[in-house]
Structure 1
């Protein structure tokens, strides 16, 4: 799986660009796309606006460690990797058929979250039980929604390309080829929404901070992200309908 979004949409954390040592092999979106096509020519490519894209490989010679599904509807694109053990319960909750895949489920959950539900995104992800990571993009609103389970059971990396684009992939080699040292593991148990940044599923009122890793000479050689329990946000970041999110904020603050 590979998803690449220009800087204006992906809004990658600035800390991904911190490393100051090592060979800089970052590529542009166009170069990343071409490299991936050469390696996995059978992949399903979805071309988005302004050179952004999402793609999923189906190469039988490279069997995935986890199930993969992709679903597209109403200009919403979702790649889901992994399995939800409570998918039957979630299908009933969202009124979906027994044939609905995890990717279909996430698109429906996102629509409810965006249009109708008076609760924050961390509450939606808390309902997911299993091993998973997903990347969802709403092309109409340019909303990017990414999440990974608490244990980090499914590999998910993110990085910054040479043109500042955000790169997401479950393949470490792909991230390394595209971003070089300007990459890191997507933090387990976290949500990323391009308009709000990182949010912890279990500690949504605390900041998720970047921690720089240094080599023996004191040069920054990488970065990792973790929840800072000593910090506290004034409120849980919201997206979507202003009225719906206002209701959600009021409900949370009133608890």
Structure 2
């Protein structure tokens, strides 16, 4: 899978550009899209406004980690992997037995979107399995990305030459698109434009960028990790959201 979104939507963390010569040889969204068309001519590609796009190829697909893409009411979702509790999730969201993992994620997002204050960490915490997904709500310009707790599915993100956010499960594609300005997407985390990067198991703690240096003292890589020693200020919630927040706090203590 591959997705690229302009800086105004994706707002990639600035730390992604810190590795030495990070943005050198990186490409623009248009150049990345053209490279994709040549490398994956059979890929399904959705071109959105302002050069943003999502694409999916089944090349070298693992039978245990299938890839799928779905579009429902202008909500696009690429899903890689499987959900172990998909039957329970179908019942919870009132979906048919034919609903795929990608459809379940779209429905979960719509609940998050339409029934505020519904915490995004609770939505993803209910997903059990090995997965990574990229979701984009074209009507609202909302980007929503997540990776399972164990990092079972490869997911990389990076900053393109024009400042765009690029996400893919293919490390080679990310390197070609972003040069060294990329990093593994942290396991057990979600990213939403507007709220940024957060852990869905530890939502009250900040996810920090950790710089790694080479022998010359230059930054060679960036890794994002949950800082369990720093607690984020929380906004009081009401109703059921308050119960979820209290439960999260108890679990972390």
Q: Indicate the TM-score class for this superposition, using the shorter chain for normalisation.
A: over 0.9
Deviation (angstroms), 1:41: 0.4
Is the partner of 1:176 in helix, strand or coil? helix
In structure 1, the residue matched to 2:35 is: 35
Q: What is the distance in 2 between the residues matched to 1:86 and 1:236? A: 31
Deviation (angstroms), 1:232: 1.1
Q: What is the distance in 2 between the residues matched to 1:149 and 1:113? A: 18
Is the partner of 2:228 in helix, strand or coil? coil
In structure 1, the residue matched to 2:62 is: 64
In structure 1, the residue matched to 2:251 is: none
Change (3 A) 1:93 1:252: closer
Q: What is the distance in 1 between the residues matched to 2:124 and 2:223? A: 22
Q: Summarize the alignment of residues 34-53 of structure 1 with structure 2, pairs less than 5 Å apart.
A: 34-53=34-53
Q: Is the 1:150–1:189 Cα contact (8 Å) retained in structure 2?
A: yes
Change (3 A) 1:188 1:113: same
State yes or no: 1:156 paired with 2:155. Answer: yes
Q: Is the 1:205–1:236 Cα contact (8 Å) retained in structure 2?
A: no
Count, aligned residues:
246
Q: What is the distance in 1 between the residues matched to 2:34 and 2:88? A: 41
In structure 1, the residue matched to 2:123 is: 124
Q: Deviations over 1:63-85 (max 9, x none)?
A: 33611111101110000000001
Change (3 A) 1:254 1:87: closer
Q: Is the 1:21–1:220 Cα contact (8 Å) retained in structure 2?
A: no
Is the partner of 2:217 in helix, strand or coil? coil
The unaligned stretches of length 5 or more in structure 2 are 248-253
TM-score w.r.t. the length of structure 1 is 0.91
Change (3 A) 1:205 1:50: same
Is the partner of 1:230 in helix, strand or coil? strand
Q: CA RMSD in A?
A: 1.9
Q: Is the 1:207–1:231 Cα contact (8 Å) retained in structure 2?
A: yes
In structure 2, the residue matched to 1:55 is: 55
Q: What is the distance in 2 between the residues matched to 1:137 and 1:236? A: 26
Q: Summarize the alignment of residues 167-182 of structure 1 with structure 2, pairs less than 5 Å apart.
A: 167-182=166-181
Q: What is the distance in 2 between the residues matched to 1:23 and 1:6? A: 15
Change (3 A) 1:168 1:253: closer
In structure 1, the residue matched to 2:185 is: 186
Deviation (angstroms), 1:117: 5.5
Deviation (angstroms), 1:213: 1.0
TM-score w.r.t. the length of structure 2 is 0.92
In structure 1, the residue matched to 2:20 is: 20
Q: Is the 2:47–2:53 Cα contact (8 Å) retained in structure 1?
A: yes
State yes or no: 1:90 paired with 2:86. Answer: no
